[in-house]
Chain A
Amino acid sequence: MTAHAMSHTLAAGSGSGWLAAFTHPYFLHAFLAGSAIALAAGLTGFFLVLRAQVFTGDALSHVAFTGALAALAGGYDLRLGLFAATVAVALLIGAIGRGGRADDVAIGSVFAWILGLGAFFLTLYTTSRSAGNGGAGVSVLFGSLFGLSAGQALTAALVAGSICAVLLLIARPLLFASVDEAVAAARGVPVRLLGLVFLVLVGACAAEATQAVGSLLLLGLLAAPAGAAARLTDRPFRGLALSAVLALAEMWAGLGLSYAVPTLPPSFGIMAAAASVYGLTFLKGAGRGRDHEKGRNGTSRPARAFSRLWQTATMPALGDTDHE
C-alpha cells in the first residue's frame, strides 16, 4: 500500500487525466487481473444467490485464508494452498450435503474450525520464519490488488477466464437444476454432478479472488452484484449478464477511486462501490411496492420467471407437474 502511494505521488507530475493511470505497471496489472476476477465473481455469484448458497461462498472464502497461510508456513507457493484448500472443501461440502447443498450448521462448524486452523498457521508462519513479512496474514485477509506482478496478473486473468468459460458452458442446465431441482432431475439433467461442478467453480473463484480483494471481502464481490442484478431484472440470462457487467463496473470504479485517493485501499473502494450499487437497487424496489416484488409463494423473482418460462415451453407434455 505504501509502495503504491509512493509511486503514485512520484509519478503524479508526469501524467495527465485518467489515462495516466495506465502508464503505471501496478495499475495495469491490477486492472487486468481485477477485470477478469470481477467477471468470474459476477457470474458465479449470480448462481450462488439463485441457489441460496451464499453461506457456502462465505465458508469457502474463509477456507482460502487457511489454505494460503498453510502453504506459506510450509514454504510453498501461496496459490497452491489457496486452490488445494478451496477445491477440497468445496468437494467436501458437496459430499456431505444432498444434491450439493449442505446444512448450514455443518458448514458453519467445519469452516469455523478451519478458520481456527488458519490462526494456528498464521502464528506458525510469523513465529517460525523470522524473514517472512508480518503483513502476510493481513494481505491474505484483505487483498493486495496493487501488489500483483505481471506474471501473477496474467495467471489470474487466465484462471478467471477459464472459470467464466466453464460456467457459461454449463449455464443452461445449471440454471434449470437451480430453479427446479426435482423437475430437472426427472428430465435427465445430472443435478448432483452439476451441483458439485458448480461448487468446485466457486472454490476456484474464491481462491482467485482472494489474491485481489482478500478472503474476507470476496463475499461482497460474489453477493452484491448478483443481488443487485436479481433485483433489477426477472429474466435469468439477462440477470446473469447484468451481474457480470455490474461486478466489472464496480471493480473499475473501486480501482479508480483508490487511484484518485491513495489513502483508500483498493479493496475498500471495490466494496464501497459494490455496496452502494446494491443499496441503490433497494430505492428502485421501494417505489414499486413490496407485495409485487416478494411474489406469491416466496420464491425469488428470477426463479419464478424461469419456471414460468420453462413451463410454458416444455410442460404441456407433463401438465400436472405444475408446482405453484
Chain B
Amino acid sequence: MTDVLLAAGALPTWSWNPVADLREMWAFPFMVNAFRAGTLVAVGAGAMGWFMVLRRQSFAGHTVATVGFPGAACAALLGVSVSYGYFAFCVAAALVIAAMPRGGRAAGGHESAVTGTVQAFLLACGFLFTTLYHGLLGGVTSLLFGSFLGITSGQVWLLLAVTAAVLAVLAAVGRPLLFASVDPDVAAGRGVPVRALSAVFLVLLGAATAEASQITGTLLVFALLVMPAAAAQALSARPAVSLALAVLIAAAVTWAGLTVAYYSPYPVGFYVTTFAFAAYVLSRGGRYVRERIARPALEPLPAGGAA
C-alpha cells in the first residue's frame, strides 16, 4: 500500500465526502480487487469462525491458520503460486488434527500438546524455507501480517470458488454439525456421525483459513475467525441470527479496515484486528449491561458467548 502510493506521491487524503472518497479509492483496480477479496474472505471466515467458537476449537483453528505460513514459504521456494501452498498446508494440517485420537473431554492437555508441537514445528519449517529462499526475507512480514496489494482478478475468482464450495458444504452439513457441536454425546446417541462431521469441519476450516490468510496474513486470520463470531454469539442466542451477525460483523470490519488502511501508512491487519476487537468488547459489554438490567429474563443459549 504505502510503497505504491509513496512512489506515486503522497498518501491520499480523506475529503469528508464519502461518495467522492469511495469513487476515488475504487478508481484503483487493486483496491476494487482488495474489497472483492476481502468480502469473500470475511463471509467464509465469519461463517466458519462461528462454528469454531461454538465447538471450542480455537486452538485448532489457530494452528491451522499459522500453518499457512510454511505453506506459502514452501510454495515460494518451489516456485509455484503461493495460493497452492496455503491450501495444501492448511488442509493437510486440518487432516492431521482430525486424525489424532481424541481423549475424553478432560484430556485436553495432551491433545493441545500435540497441536502446539505441530504448530511450532511447521512454523520452524517455514522459517527454514525462508532462510533457504533468500529473496523472500523482506516478504516474511507480509506473509505473516497480511497485505492487500497486488491481488489479481484470478485470485479473486479462486477465492470466490473456494468460498462458494465451503459455504455449500457447510449448508449441507449445517444442521447435524450444529447438533454435534452443541451436544456431541446426545448427537452420537441419535446416530449422528460426530467424528466424520468433525473431520469435515476441520477440512472446511482449513480451506477458509487458507483463503483468508492471503489477505490478513497467517497470524491475523485467527482474529477474523474468532472475534466476529464471539461478538455475534454474545449478541444473540438464536443460531441463525448470530451466524448472520457473525458474517455481517466480519464483512463490516474488513471493509472498515481496508478503507482506513488505504488512508494510512499502517498495515491492514492491524486495523482489521482492532475493529474486530472493538466489536467484541462492545458486544460483551452490551450483553453484560443487558443481563444486569433484566436479570430474571431468559438465560441465553449455554454454548453461545463465553460464560
Whether the Cβ atoms of A119 and B270 lie closer than 8 Å is: yes
Whether the Cβ atoms of A117 and B124 lie closer than 8 Å is: no
Q: Which residues B41-66 have CB closer than 8 A to chain A?
A: 53, 56, 58-59, 62, 66
Whether the Cβ atoms of A264 and B277 lie closer than 8 Å is: no
Is B105 among interface residues, defined by CB-CB distance under 8 A? yes
Interface stretch, picked from B136-144, B158-166, B200-208, B293-301, is: B136-144
User: A113-B277, A119-B267, A265-B131 given as contacts; is B104 within 8 A of A297 (CB)?
Assistant: yes
Please pick, from A104, A107, A116, A298, the residue contacting B107 in the complex, using a CB distance under 8 A.
A298
Is A21 among interface residues, defined by CB-CB distance under 8 A? no
Please pick, from A55, A117, A226, the residue contacting B58 in the complex, using a CB distance under 8 A.
A55
Whether the Cβ atoms of A290 and B101 lie closer than 8 Å is: yes
Please pick, from B127, B267, B272, B306, the residue contacting A268 in the complex, using a CB distance under 8 A.
B127
Please pick, from B106, B112, B220, the residue contacting A112 in the complex, using a CB distance under 8 A.
B220
Bound-state CA distance A220–B132 (Å) is: 22
Residues of A close to B156: CB separation below 8 A: none
Bound-state CA distance A1–B130 (Å) is: 12
Residues of B close to A108: CB separation below 8 A: 58, 62, 222, 226, 230
Q: How many residues of B contact A (CB 8 A)?
A: 62
User: A112-B273, A116-B269, A123-B267 given as contacts; is B120 within 8 A of A217 (CB)?
Assistant: yes
Whether the Cβ atoms of B120 and A224 lie closer than 8 Å is: yes
Bound-state CA distance A119–B219 (Å) is: 10
Whether the Cβ atoms of B116 and A109 lie closer than 8 Å is: no
In the complex, which range does the number of interface residues on chain A fall in?
Answer: 35 or more
Whether the Cβ atoms of A109 and B219 lie closer than 8 Å is: no
Complex: chain B residue closest to A127, CB-CB: B265
User: A105-B53, A108-B222, A268-B128 given as contacts; is B270 within 8 A of A120 (CB)?
Assistant: yes
Is B274 among interface residues, defined by CB-CB distance under 8 A? yes
Whether the Cβ atoms of B113 and A224 lie closer than 8 Å is: yes
Whether the Cβ atoms of B107 and A267 lie closer than 8 Å is: no
Residues of A close to B138: CB separation below 8 A: 134
Please pick, from B66, B123, B127, B274, the residue contacting A113 in the complex, using a CB distance under 8 A.
B274
Please pick, from A109, A272, A303, the residue contacting B124 in the complex, using a CB distance under 8 A.
A272
Is A184 among interface residues, defined by CB-CB distance under 8 A? no
Is B145 among interface residues, defined by CB-CB distance under 8 A? yes
Is A54 among interface residues, defined by CB-CB distance under 8 A? yes
Is A58 among interface residues, defined by CB-CB distance under 8 A? yes
Q: Which residues A79-133 have CB closer than 8 A to chain B?
A: 103-110, 112-113, 115-117, 119-120, 122-124, 127
Whether the Cβ atoms of B103 and A113 lie closer than 8 Å is: no
Residues of A close to B2: CB separation below 8 A: 127
Interface string of B93-113 (1 = CB under 8 A from A): 000000001011111111011
Is B84 among interface residues, defined by CB-CB distance under 8 A? no
Please pick, from B141, B273, B277, the residue contacting A122 in the complex, using a CB distance under 8 A.
B141
Bound-state CA distance A268–B127 (Å) is: 7
Residues of B close to A119: CB separation below 8 A: 141, 145-146, 217, 219-220, 266-267, 269-270, 273
Is B181 among interface residues, defined by CB-CB distance under 8 A? no
Please pick, from B112, B121, B267, the residue contacting A272 in the complex, using a CB distance under 8 A.
B121
User: A112-B277, A113-B223, A120-B267 given as contacts; is B106 within 8 A of A223 (CB)?
Assistant: no
Please pick, from B58, B101, B270, the residue contacting A105 in the complex, using a CB distance under 8 A.
B58
Complex: chain B residue closest to A224, CB-CB: B117
Whether the Cβ atoms of A220 and B115 lie closer than 8 Å is: no
Complex: chain B residue closest to A230, CB-CB: B110
Whether the Cβ atoms of B277 and A109 lie closer than 8 Å is: yes
Whether the Cβ atoms of A223 and B113 lie closer than 8 Å is: yes
The smallest beta-carbon distance between A220 and chain B, in angstroms, is 3
Residues of B close to A34: CB separation below 8 A: none
Residues of A close to B273: CB separation below 8 A: 112-113, 115-117, 119
Complex: chain B residue closest to A47, CB-CB: B109
The B contact surface, by secondary structure, is helix
Bound-state CA distance A180–B62 (Å) is: 29
Is B91 among interface residues, defined by CB-CB distance under 8 A? no
Is B280 among interface residues, defined by CB-CB distance under 8 A? yes
Is A154 among interface residues, defined by CB-CB distance under 8 A? no
Is B119 among interface residues, defined by CB-CB distance under 8 A? yes
Is B212 among interface residues, defined by CB-CB distance under 8 A? no
User: A50-B109, A265-B128, A294-B107 given as contacts; is B120 within 8 A of A223 (CB)?
Assistant: yes
The smallest beta-carbon distance between B37 and chain A, in angstroms, is 19
Bound-state CA distance A210–B46 (Å) is: 32
Identify which of A123, A297, A299 gathers the most chain B CB atoms within 10 Å of its CB: A123
User: A109-B277, A113-B277, A297-B104 given as contacts; is B109 within 8 A of A52 (CB)?
Assistant: yes
Is A51 among interface residues, defined by CB-CB distance under 8 A? yes
Whether the Cβ atoms of B110 and A299 lie closer than 8 Å is: no
Residues of A close to B114: CB separation below 8 A: 227, 278
Complex: chain B residue closest to A222, CB-CB: B116
Is A57 among interface residues, defined by CB-CB distance under 8 A? yes
Is B227 among interface residues, defined by CB-CB distance under 8 A? yes
Please pick, from A49, A103, A120, the residue contacting B113 in the complex, using a CB distance under 8 A.
A49
Is B276 among interface residues, defined by CB-CB distance under 8 A? yes
User: A54-B59, A116-B272 given as contacts; is B124 within 8 A of A217 (CB)?
Assistant: yes
User: Could you list 12 further interchain pairs (A-B, Cβ under 8 angstroms) beyond the known A112-B226, A290-B101, A294-B101?
Assistant: A55-B59, A58-B119, A109-B230, A119-B146, A119-B219, A119-B270, A122-B267, A138-B141, A142-B124, A271-B121, A294-B107, A300-B107
20 A-B residue pairs with CB within 8 Å: A49-B110, A53-B109, A55-B58, A55-B112, A103-B306, A109-B223, A109-B230, A109-B280, A112-B226, A113-B273, A113-B277, A116-B271, A119-B273, A216-B127, A219-B116, A223-B112, A230-B109, A275-B120, A275-B121, A295-B107
Closest 9 CB pairs of A and B: A298-B104, A220-B120, A116-B273, A227-B113, A271-B124, A223-B116, A112-B223, A113-B277, A275-B121
